[in-house]
Amino acid sequence: MRVISWNVNGIRAACKKGFAAWLDASGADVVGIQESRADELPDEVRLPGWHSVLTAGQRKGYSGVALFSRRPWSSLETELAPEFDVEGRLQIATFQKAVDGGTRDLVVANGYFPNGNGLERDNSRIPYKLAFYNAVFDRLEARRQGGAAILVMGDFNTAHEAIDLARPKDNVKTSGFTPEERAELDRWLKNGWVDTFRAAHPGQPGHYSWWSQRGGARAKNVGWRIDYVLASEAAARCVERAFIDNDVLGSDHCPIGVELR
């Protein structure tokens, strides 16, 4: 099973850059996108053989997540709390597979975690961002402790360690790399969640998933790794490969994902 996450920075813009062709050729079973910035999915991505659902925010052209899957989900949750639901930031899909006369579930949470910058780039949205992190954690933690196989994927808008961005010393006061944001990711990992890419590529610098659109940052690989697939212990045991497809263009982010047994 191949699961991919991608912040497309606008699904309509992404479609003009070949998103539909990429999706159909991706080899993925499940694709979660973030920052869809649309009220409905374009016709171009309503492809045969795919199930799809968009969760939009109330503000037009802002936020939003969407899920594409080759198989139907058995349940889908999109409500977390009113202050987050108005921005359309979360989908939690459960997929069931028949195994030995019973069923086995895989839970896939597709999240667009808030940016903490604020309108004045004064880090004023960090409390809101951390509250979202906490709410998602609380929603999933009991299931993780119960042994559920869970993937939490998406744009987390935080680089965890200095190795996860090109210029850590210049960004210690920038939202996405402040101590309190990094500490929240620490909390997830200390509670048993696994950063699948870092587990597969320990100590390897230069792997990023987002680049500024200014100053030729992508060509110079001056980026940040802020997109993740976190796995519960049960799901992590099934991960055979974790990857960043930084050669895929069409957004300021690139696709990331995992392959599971």
What pLDDT score does 64 carry?
Answer: 98
Q: Is the dihedral of CA 236, 239, 244, 250 positive or negative?
A: negative
CB-based contacts of 161, cutoff 8 Å, min separation 6: 182
Q: Residue 261 corresponds to which amino acid?
A: R
CB-based contacts of 43, cutoff 8 Å, min separation 6: none
16: pLDDT strictly greater than 80: yes
Phi then psi for 97, rounded to 5 degrees?
Answer: -130, 135
Phi then psi for 40, rounded to 5 degrees?
Answer: -155, 160
Contacts 24+ apart (CB under 8 A), 94-97: 95/30, 95/69, 95/71
What pLDDT score does 156 carry?
Answer: 98
103: pLDDT strictly greater than 90: no
Task: Give the Cα separation of 21 and 44 in Å (integer).
Answer: 9
**Mean pLDDT across the chain, nearest whole number?**
96
Q: Quick one: average pLDDT of 193-208? A: 97
119: pLDDT strictly greater than 90: no
Task: Give the Cα separation of 154 and 121 in Å (integer).
Answer: 22
Label residue 217 exposed, middle or buried (CB < 10 Å: 0-12, 13-18, 19+).
Answer: middle
DSSP symbol at 163: G
Tell me the residue range of the domain where 11 lies: 2-260
What are the structure tokens assigned to 59, written together? 């503000």
pLDDT tens per residue, range 213-239 = 999 999 999 999 999 999 999 999 999
Marked catalytic residue, from 29, 155, 164, 227: 155
At which residue do the structure tokens 């895989």 appear?
A: 106
Task: Give the Cα separation of 165 and 158 in Å (integer).
Answer: 10
In the residue annotation, 164 being an active-site residue is answered as no
What pLDDT score does 211 carry?
Answer: 98
For the domain that residue 101 is a member of, what is the CATH number?
3.60.10.10
Percent with pLDDT over 70 in the chain: 100
162: pLDDT strictly greater than 80: yes
Task: Give the Cα separation of 127 and 16 in Å (integer).
Answer: 35
What pLDDT score does 153 carry?
Answer: 98
Domain count, the chain: 1
133: pLDDT strictly greater than 80: yes
Task: Give the Cα separation of 223 and 176 in Å (integer).
Answer: 12
